[in-house]
Amino acid sequence: MSIKPPVVWCVGGSDSSAHAGLQADLRTGQDLGCHVQTIVTCITAQNSKEVRAVEPVPLAMFDEQWQTLLDDVLPDAIKVSLLPSIDIVKACSTWLKRIKTDFPSIQVVFDPVMAASSESGNQLQQTDAGASLLDHILPYADVITPNRMEFSALTGLSAELAPKDLQADMAVYFAASKSRWLLKGGHVGELNKQKEDQATDWLVGRDTIVGFGCERLSAHNTRGTGCTLSTALASFIAHGYDFLDAMTMAKAYITGALKNGVQIGEGAGPLGRPGWPLQIDYLPRLVTPHKPVMPISLPFAAMDLKKMGLYPVVDSIAWLALVLKQGVKIAQLRIKNPDDADLEHKIQQAVALGKEYDAQVFINDYWQQAITYGAYGVHLGQEDLEQADLAQIQVAGMRLGISTHGYYEIARAQSIQPSYIALGHIFPTQTKDMPSQPQGLTRLGHYASLLKGVFPTVAIGGINAERLPAVAQTGVNSVALVTAITQAAEPEVAAQSLITLFEQSTRGEQ
């Protein structure tokens, strides 16, 4: 029996050319493993060159579509786009209110379509939409995805301000709703004016600003870009991804779609459908005005891939010595107490043990001491990246490992060019409380494919002997274990057995 795919409801207009609208939504959702159900707001007569006619559906039919779907299956996410009349705007608002009241976890992506494209200028919106759309839809939207023209029409604000100034001017909207705004097209803020070959979409919320930058493409076949981006975002949300991960993936997907556009008709053709985003070159470049992590111009020192494999993470010198004696060639010393009176001596001992056993020993967190005593490498979590002096670590010649918990953090780590990227947590873990949900094997496989041949990877979190083969077979370079050795009845035997198990599990990957 097949696993039921996530369900996405797409509310919008039917495009007779199938370049955009609900037809583009259907193709995008299917490409990303979702089942798209449609609520038609209007029928349009259009081709690649023009929009000739827009005919709203009768209000009774619009309402009946919502009720009929609601009587059968709930969506995992909703995407709303073209609403061609004030009556349909109000009706859509009523249905969204009902759903958000009864099922508040269902997220709504609102793409306020007002024109077929910036090039043609063919107007699709038939109502004075700005105030009406915001009054009726804003309270129920989790994210709004306008381009520059649409943003100005909706709010009356200029889209040319720097992101921080724009955030301040949007305070009235943040007071009325928890919605985040994705301002598309690389046209917002002074940062973009410095690099004409870069385009940045700014995600602006009440407390956060994040830019998702990418190469500005000179693609001709761009019809349906807004539809595709917003539906991809809804699809990744429907798959259960955290919002920032879903946003990162949607941006990677749209880059692939633009690069694979198809010429159909005399005008601009539709985007391609590139499949699940597994090309690391498509990941966006993250821009965070608040406490930015500066990209590193040169990669950190490389790992010895032949010495990657079973990767014990231990909290004492005694445990480190034990696993190294059993033949482990990569390990990490993680001392949780920064006030440990013997901290510096322990780090010094760890460095010496690594040299004695010709192993890649990483020090967790304490990068200053790691530099002082000449450690092979240091491992940092996401929160540590803003505090550590990455340039100093690199100058010292140390390797750098970075923890990640999804696509957003992988994109952040990519700009730093670390020696390896840790992927976690894969299963529920006993060693620490985690703010994120377990990733599972499917996501781990996607991450490993994305990073393969570019960055070495380490899987971590809740992995024991029973789970190790399946984890290793995803293609990661190392599998980190925390308790599988230290809580074993015979730790030495367990370590040797796990080393052998990893080698056997990855034999087909060699």
What string of DSSP letters covers 118-145?
Answer: TTT--B---S-HHHHHHHHHGGG-SEE-
Number of H helices, E strands in the chain: 19, 18
Domain boundary among 229, 261, 287: 287
pLDDT given at position 188: 44
Does one domain contain both 340 and 248? no
Q: Annotation-wise, does 454 bind a ligand?
A: no
The conformational region for residue 365 under phi > 0 = left, psi -120 to 50 = alpha, else beta, is left
| d(C-alpha 118, C-alpha 445), whole Å | 38
| Best CA proximity match to 9, nearest among 58, 80, 100, 102 | 80
Q: Annotation-wise, does 332 bind a ligand?
A: yes
Collapsing DSSP to helix, strand or coil, 1 comes out as coil
Q: Please, which residues have CB within 8 angstroms of residue 233's CB and are 6 or more apart in sequence?
A: 79, 109, 143, 145, 246, 247, 250
Q: Annotation-wise, does 335 bind a ligand?
A: yes
Q: For residue 297, is it within any domain?
A: no
Q: For residue 296, is it within any domain?
A: no
The model's pTM: 0.92
* Rounded alpha-carbon distances, angstroms, from residue 247 to 25, 105, 252: 17, 17, 9
| d(C-alpha 275, C-alpha 446), whole Å | 12
| d(C-alpha 494, C-alpha 482), whole Å | 12
Q: Annotation-wise, does 372 bind a ligand?
A: no
pLDDT given at position 269: 84
Collapsing DSSP to helix, strand or coil, 348 comes out as helix
Give the domain range for residue 53: 7-287
Does one domain contain both 193 and 340? no
pLDDT given at position 493: 96
Q: For residue 292, is it within any domain?
A: no
Q: How far is CA 288 from the centre of its chain?
A: 15
Q: Annotation-wise, does 384 bind a ligand?
A: yes
Sequential DSSP letters for 152-187: HHHH---TTS-HHHHHHHTHHHHHH---EEEE-SS-
Place of tokens 């690099």: 195
Q: Please, which residues have CB within 8 angstroms of residue 378's CB and are 6 or more apart in sequence?
A: 362, 363, 364, 365, 366, 367, 370, 388, 393, 398, 399, 400, 401
Q: For residue 72, is it within any domain?
A: yes
pLDDT given at position 437: 80
pLDDT given at position 220: 77
Neighbours of 372 (CB within 10 A): 14
Neighbours of 130 (CB within 10 A): 17
Q: Annotation-wise, does 145 bind a ligand?
A: no
| d(C-alpha 38, C-alpha 264), whole Å | 24
Sequence letter at residue 304: D
Does one domain contain both 244 and 332? no
For position 310, which CATH number holds?
Answer: 3.20.20.70
Q: What are phi and psi of 421, to 5 degrees?
A: -120, 125
> How do strand 209-215 and strand 198-204 relate by DSSP bridges?
antiparallel
Does one domain contain both 84 and 41? yes
**By the 8 A CB rule, do 192 and 179 touch?**
no
Q: For residue 1, is it within any domain?
A: no
Q: Annotation-wise, does 3 bind a ligand?
A: no
Q: For residue 411, is it within any domain?
A: yes
Q: What is the largest CA-CA distance in the chain?
A: 79
pLDDT given at position 194: 44
Does one domain contain both 124 and 241? yes
* Rounded alpha-carbon distances, angstroms, from residue 482 to 315, 441, 485, 501: 9, 18, 7, 16
pLDDT given at position 179: 95
Neighbours of 123 (CB within 10 A): 11
| d(C-alpha 500, C-alpha 478), whole Å | 13
Partners of residue 285 on adjacent β-strands? 213
pLDDT given at position 262: 86
Does one domain contain both 364 and 502? yes
Domain boundary among 255, 287, 319: 287
Does one domain contain both 311 and 243? no
Domain boundary among 225, 256, 287: 287
Q: Annotation-wise, does 334 bind a ligand?
A: yes
| Best CA proximity match to 399, nearest among 302, 478, 296 | 302
435-439: long-range contacts (C-beta < 8 A, 24 or more apart)?
Answer: 435/405, 436/242, 436/405, 436/406, 437/240, 438/462, 439/405, 439/406
pLDDT given at position 191: 43
DSSP-assigned letter for residue 289: S
Half-sphere exposure in the Cβ direction for 342 (13 Å, CA):
6
Does one domain contain both 67 and 96? yes
Q: Annotation-wise, does 483 bind a ligand?
A: yes
Q: Annotation-wise, does 482 bind a ligand?
A: yes
Q: For residue 294, is it within any domain?
A: no
For position 211, which CATH number holds?
Answer: 3.40.1190.20
Q: Please, which residues have CB within 8 angstroms of residue 459's CB and are 6 or more apart in sequence?
A: 422, 423, 424, 426, 444, 448, 471, 474, 476, 478, 479, 480
Q: Annotation-wise, does 107 bind a ligand?
A: no
Sequence letter at residue 306: K
Q: For residue 298, is it within any domain?
A: no
| d(C-alpha 170, C-alpha 166), whole Å | 6
Question: Which pair of structure tokens corresponds to residue 295?
Answer: 């990209």
Neighbours of 435 (CB within 10 A): 6
pLDDT given at position 119: 40
Does one domain contain both 314 and 264? no
Place of tokens 């349906």: 224
Structural domains of the chain, count: 2
Does one domain contain both 258 and 146? yes
Does one domain contain both 24 and 125? yes
Does one domain contain both 233 and 264? yes
Per-residue pLDDT of the chain (510 residues; tens, 9 = 90+): 568 999 999 999 999 999 999 999 999 999 999 999 999 999 999 998 999 999 999 999 999 999 999 999 999 999 999 999 999 999 999 999 999 999 999 999 999 986 544 343 445 554 455 568 889 999 999 999 998 888 988 998 988 888 888 899 999 999 989 999 999 874 444 444 445 677 889 999 999 899 999 887 777 778 889 999 999 999 999 999 999 999 999 999 999 999 988 899 888 888 999 999 999 999 999 987 655 555 667 899 999 999 999 999 999 999 999 999 999 999 999 999 999 999 999 999 999 999 999 999 999 999 999 999 999 999 999 999 988 999 999 999 999 999 999 999 999 999 999 999 999 999 987 656 666 789 999 999 999 999 999 999 999 999 999 999 999 999 999 999 999 999 999 999 999 999 999 999 998 554
